[in-house]
Structure 1
Amino acid sequence: MDSMVFYEDDFESQCHDHLDQDLDADYEYEYAEETAVDLYDLCLKPTLQHTVEHLIPLILASFLFKIVAQCTYTPNKLMHGASIILGFAILYNYVPESLYLLAIFTIASYIYLQLPKKYRSGIGVFIPSIFVILYCELSMEAASWHKIRGVVMIAVMKEISIAVDQNESNHKPPVLWQYVGYLVSPVTSIFGPWISFKDYSELHRQGSWNLKWIFSTVGYFALALVFISISNCGASWILTENSGKWLQAYRDALSFRMSHYFVSYTSSSILLLGGLPFARTTITKPMEIEFPRSLVQVVISWNIPMHSWLKTYIFRPGRRQLGKFGGILLTYLASSLLHGLNFQLAAVLLSLGFYTYIEFEIRSVLSTVFDACITSKKCPDNKCSHQRIAANCWWVTAVNLAFSALSIFHLAYLGLMFDTSELQETGYSYLHTIEKWSQLGFASHWIAFVTYCAYFLIR
């Protein structure tokens, strides 16, 4: 599967834009003539204050769930009951628009899981999710659907994972209260990420209460606040509108990535606070994204749980039934469908898939021809079989640095799409996408095309 890793990408995390939209709307201002003191008073302070206040209900609900779920005397049913009550309370507080939809989806999908296996296999596993997403696309206002899209996506991912596991293991589906508790758990329903039903079930009486847990939870949350501060304030203060268009593109892409890190580290903090073990709380790896060896590394490190979900529940079953190419198409179709029928997301996902495919292939060919450690994925320490490595050949380092610079360039180009314009409240249109890329002369796509031509000639 390592050679196929570039297909399981997800350029947009399951972050929930309603928080970022609120912050951006409240604290946008002109940065060009602001001092550091002004930056703190006008942006940093209100951003941090608003963020903490906004997250207090979720923090309290997750901590209360941990107390109930991991108390020695708590019966299993009480844990699921607490998850249902606290989960719906949190959904009502943050995204009340999603309540009736999730209730319908929960009932319909649970009935679906009771059907004979022949109706739940293959493409049939997507029927409930396809129905709910198409309903949202066709009947809901764009702003409302955009606000609840992440919540629906997490619920859909959970339902599909249970359906696939049920088909492969021939186990009975969870009982109703277990299923509902899993779908609406306060620990994952708002910020995600996807966790397996097994991980959710093991929360019962499996918790740890020690200093490491406290420091890790607080540390994750502190890092999240640093990232949201950079996203909302720091990036635009350092790189103003007077910067060149490529620096502005890098700034907007950096702001988007920092927003993703904020959501990811907030989610990690909530997962720890809600009782998950430390090993299950790594969602993203910022250093491997900001200083990447390759785009392949970026798509793996961007959203680790989503990457794992796509590989386990979409690509592998799809490859068994449809072959390698069919599995790839199904993976992209599923990823696009989960995020809604949005041209911009589809364009970015497909572009990133094309980029990573070409990068992976051309670096594999070059690595074989020159017997050099220049593949997309770094060889394990002390286990590299290549004759030429960074330690004994200077140009190996130079080639890897060149591909790293190219990855950063592509990320700036693709991330430019997710700016803080008013369109983010309803989703970006295809005109927004074409206009943004045309301002940069479609440079990234042209470079990718030239790279493909080079690969085609030397393969």
Structure 2
Amino acid sequence: MEPDDSTNYQDDYYGDEYYDDMFESTLHYCILPVIAQVTSVFLKLFGLAAIVSILNQLKWKKLTLSLDTTLGILCAFLFYQSSTLFIVILVVLSYAVLVLFSSSGKCGPAMILVNLAFVFICELLVVSPELWHQIRGTIILLLMKTTSVGFDIDAGVLVPPDILLFSGYSLSPVSLVFGPFVTLPDYRRSKDSKFDKKTLISICSSLCLAYLTVLISSCVLPSLIDTSSYTLVQAYVTAMSFRTSHYFVSYTSQVSALIGGFQHSEKFYVVQPSKVEIPKSMASVAVAWNLPMHYWLKTYVYKKTRSY
């Protein structure tokens, strides 16, 4: 018996209608709300980074350092509200360690011990799990920054910074919330940086990639999980969603750093997704996943622990 053409047409019609409805639903209930939410975050973060960049052009060193600290506290308050207090306490505590141990040659290890003690006390005894989950990324970034200063002082690479330079570096809104990790010399160089065409292109491309990756992670991939019945496909899509969310954070920090003047080279990268998705080795994945983090681990953890 020949199939009824009208039935085939009806099946095709309802199939197209289903996918049209799914796209429309995804657009209105996921894509547009996510874009709006991310844009509100970007306006706060990149707005403060732009203010820092404008102030850098004034060449008033003490004023810009003071305003970096002030804007950093404001940035922390915008994102973390009352939990900002713990961030400020950690910076003050770290500077106290720097003053006490800068001439002993053990500033780096002392900074690590004191900071880790602060982290454990806050996480286990003082801060609620909900609040700690919000600020722990910034706390880790501060720990990385302050320990790098301590070890660089021990190595003779840096002279002990004054309180304005240390607080401006630690609390700079350019790298306080999403990162990336930057060294104190990088922070100093950012005060003399100037925008050029290549930097502007890098900012625009990184911003587009940030939007793209957050939409893929939040909207596109979850819809694929819902429509697929294969376990392996669901597992791959779930892992891909995690990776793209990491790419979003990395591109966000990359944009913030570029706006704020942290141009280490002609092209500044935080993550290299192509080397993660199509790696030549597992080592290349570890490096490309977060380049500033890899630099910190290699310079201030691996190389330092080899001497013990």
TM-score after normalising by structure 2: 0.88
Mark the runs of 5 or more structure 1 residues left unpaired by the alignment. 1-30, 322-459
Matches of 1:53 and 1:125, distance apart in 2: 35
8 Å CA contact retained: 2:216, 2:244: yes
Q: 1:137-156 deviations in whole A, cap 9, x for unaligned?
A: 21221111111000000111
Structure 1 window deviating more from structure 2 (82-91 vs 132-141): it is: 132-141
1:83 to 68, 90, 104: 68
8 Å CA contact retained: 2:94, 2:111: no
User: CA shift at 1:170, angstroms?
Assistant: 7.1
Matches of 1:217 and 1:247, distance apart in 2: 34
In 2 relative to 1, CA 136–285 (structure 1 residues): closer, same or farther, beyond 3 Å? same
Matches of 1:52 and 1:297, distance apart in 2: 32
Matches of 2:109 and 2:195, distance apart in 1: 43
SS of 1:174's equivalent?
Answer: coil
2:249 to 252, 256, 263: 263
1:305 is the counterpart of 2:292:
yes
Q: How many residues align?
A: 288
8 Å CA contact retained: 1:125, 1:160: yes
Aligned to 1:22: none
Aligned to 2:230: 244
User: CA shift at 1:239, angstroms?
Assistant: 3.2
Q: Summarize the alignment of residues 109-188 of structure 1 with structure 2, pairs less than 5 Å apart.
A: 109-116=94-101, 117-118=103-104, 120=106, 123-139=109-125, 140-169=127-156, 171-188=158-175
In 2 relative to 1, CA 251–38 (structure 1 residues): closer, same or farther, beyond 3 Å? same
Q: Summarize the alignment of residues 5-404 of structure 1 with structure 2, pairs less than 5 Å apart.
A: 34-71=21-58, 74-116=59-101, 117-118=103-104, 120=106, 123-139=109-125, 140-169=127-156, 171-204=158-191, 206-240=192-226, 242-277=228-263, 279=265, 281-321=268-308
Q: Indicate the structure with greater helix content.
A: 2
In 2 relative to 1, CA 34–257 (structure 1 residues): closer, same or farther, beyond 3 Å? farther
Matches of 2:207 and 2:80, distance apart in 1: 22
User: CA shift at 1:312, angstroms?
Assistant: 0.3
8 Å CA contact retained: 1:289, 1:301: yes
Matches of 2:108 and 2:149, distance apart in 1: 14
Structure 1 window deviating more from structure 2 (293-302 vs 123-132): it is: 123-132
Q: 1:431-453 deviations in whole A, cap 9, x for unaligned?
A: xxxxxxxxxxxxxxxxxxxxxxx
8 Å CA contact retained: 1:32, 1:240: no
8 Å CA contact retained: 1:261, 1:286: yes
Matches of 1:119 and 1:276, distance apart in 2: 29
Matches of 2:226 and 2:56, distance apart in 1: 48
TM-score after normalising by structure 1: 0.60
SS of 1:169's equivalent?
Answer: coil
Matches of 2:275 and 2:113, distance apart in 1: 36
**Letter of the structure 1 residue corresponding to residue 223 of structure 2:** W
Matches of 1:173 and 1:159, distance apart in 2: 12
In 2 relative to 1, CA 311–141 (structure 1 residues): closer, same or farther, beyond 3 Å? same
Structure 1 window deviating more from structure 2 (227-236 vs 36-45): it is: 36-45
Aligned to 2:10: none
**Letter of the structure 2 residue corresponding to residue 124 of structure 1:** A
8 Å CA contact retained: 2:98, 2:107: no
Matches of 2:276 and 2:225, distance apart in 1: 20
SS of 1:202's equivalent?
Answer: helix
Matches of 1:93 and 1:84, distance apart in 2: 14
SS of 1:239's equivalent?
Answer: helix
Matches of 1:122 and 1:272, distance apart in 2: 28
8 Å CA contact retained: 2:207, 2:251: yes
Matches of 1:305 and 1:81, distance apart in 2: 25
Q: Moved runs in structure 1, 4+ residues, more than 6 A?
A: none
8 Å CA contact retained: 2:31, 2:215: yes
User: CA shift at 1:82, angstroms?
Assistant: 1.6
8 Å CA contact retained: 1:285, 1:302: yes
8 Å CA contact retained: 1:113, 1:120: no
SS of 1:111's equivalent?
Answer: helix
User: CA shift at 1:34, angstroms?
Assistant: 5.0
Identity percentage over the alignment?
29
Cα root mean square deviation, aligned:
2.0
**Letter of the structure 2 residue corresponding to residue 98 of structure 1:** S
In 2 relative to 1, CA 32–236 (structure 1 residues): closer, same or farther, beyond 3 Å? farther
